[in-house]
Amino acid sequence: MTDAAPAFVYEEHPDHPGWMRWGTRDTTRFNAFLGDMIVRVDDRVARVRMTPARRHSNMGDRVHGGALLGFIDVALFAASRSFGLIGAGVAVTLDLNTHFIGGGRLGEPLEARIELLKETGRMLFLRGLLVQGEGEVVAEFSGTIRKPTSR
Q: What pLDDT, in 10s, does the model give residues 106-121?
A: 999 999 999 999 999 9
Question: Tell me, what's the pLDDT at 95?
Answer: 97
Q: What pLDDT, in 10s, does the model give residues 18-38?
A: 998 887 888 877 877 888 899
SS3 assignment for 4-41:
CCCCEEEEECCCCCCCEEEEECCCCCHHHHHCCEEEEE
121 within 8 A of 149, measured Cβ to Cβ: no
The ranges assigned to domains in the chain are: 8-146
CATH of 8-146, one of 1.10.10.10, 3.10.129.10, 3.40.50.10490, 1.10.8.50: 3.10.129.10
Task: State the amino acid at position 104 in one-letter form.
Answer: G
- Contacts by residues 9-15 (CB-CB < 8 Å, ≥ 24 positions apart): 10/81, 10/88, 13/38
Q: What's the average model confidence in pLDDT over 1-22? A: 76
Q: How many CB atoms lie within 10 A of CB 115?
A: 15
Question: Tell me, what's the pLDDT at 32?
Answer: 74
Question: Tell me, what's the pLDDT at 2?
Answer: 47
The residues facing 59 across adjacent strands are: none
86 pLDDT band, cuts 50/70/90, is confident
